[in-house]
Chains A and B, each alone.
Chain A
Amino acid sequence: MTGTWWEAVLFWSLGAVAVAAGWAVFRTDSMARATYALAASFVAVGAQVLLLHLDYVGVVTVLMMVMEMAVMAVYMVMFMGMNPALMPMSMVHSRRTSIGLAVGTFLVLGGGALLVPWPTRRGSPAPDLTASLGEAVMGSKMLVMLVVSPVLFATIVSALVLALPRSRYDRLGADLRRRPADDPQPGGVGR
């Protein structure tokens, strides 16, 4: 259960990469580098999750997070009003408080992790973990998925409603009859 020595070495190196990349996010002056440092942190954690035998979750973490960070980079470049890449400057407030808070949190959480007498393992892993996950999601834990899917759908709709500056009236006119639609970027389907 504790694994071999090379697993331990791999785990600690990945952990060092994850934390160092996470730290680099807030230290670098370049927006692109900050974003992809976070992506590197996620990839390292994804690999650690693979070491913990959660193949599906590990690979999906890498998939989702790299995708998200690729999009995040665009937002960083768009929305960083003061551009530290062009003009290095401090972009932090209440620096002392946050460092104290972070160190305190680490001491409490890390100390807890080491001092709490963790219970021994209950149950044993299924032979095919991915298949058991699928059966759980489509069987006894179906309610979870039934809740998650509408939440994700609601997120898509509400995020679009929030972010879109134009409505269908802007596209199709007050009576919704304008054809072709007035789009800033005409698409290839010709609606």
Chain B
Amino acid sequence: MTLQAVLVVAAALFSVGLYGAVSQQVVVMVMMGLELMVNAVVLAAAGLWWFLAPTPDGHVLLLVVLAAMTVEMAMGFAVATVLHRSRGADTTDSTTDLNR
């Protein structure tokens, strides 16, 4: 187990997440892709922390990443609910208001 190994696994996770976030049509599935990318960030940050600078500062940063993940998820659920309620939409292709 080396830093390189951790980062390669994290890169693979990030790429799979990116594929999902870009390719999926349904809002909730896009969120799952984003989650997978944040998952990779957690792993990479943990690896960098342990192998490069195991100080409390980096540990705190990981907590912040987890908090950011919570915020992303809560707002994502709220927005998905609003979209569904206001226009019965569940796919990203039908919610392109800002795409002009």
Interface residues of A (CB under 8 A from B): 1-3, 7-8, 11-12, 15, 18-19, 22-23, 25-26, 34-35, 38, 41-42, 45, 48-49, 51-54, 57-58, 60-61, 64-65, 68, 71-72, 75-76, 78-82, 91-95, 97-99, 101-103, 105-106, 109-110, 112-114, 118-119, 121-126, 129, 132-133, 135-137, 140-141, 144, 148, 151-152, 155-156, 158-160, 162-163, 165
Contact = CB atoms under 8 A, between A and B. Distances in A.
A52 B70 contact: no
Contacts of B9: 11-12, 15, 18-19, 48
Interface string B32-68: 1101100100110011011111111101101110110
A113 B11 contact: yes
Interface of B: 1-20, 22-29, 31-33, 35-36, 39, 42-43, 46-47, 49-57, 59-60, 62-64, 66-67, 69-71, 73-75, 77-82, 84-85, 88, 90-91, 93
Contacts of A76: 28
B50 A101 contact: no
Contact of B70 (A58, A121, A123, A152): A152
B80 A22 contact: no
A119 B51 CA distance: 9
Contacts, number: 249
Contacts of A119: 52
A1 B51 contact: yes
A137 B46 CA distance: 17
Contacts of B70: 64, 68, 152, 155
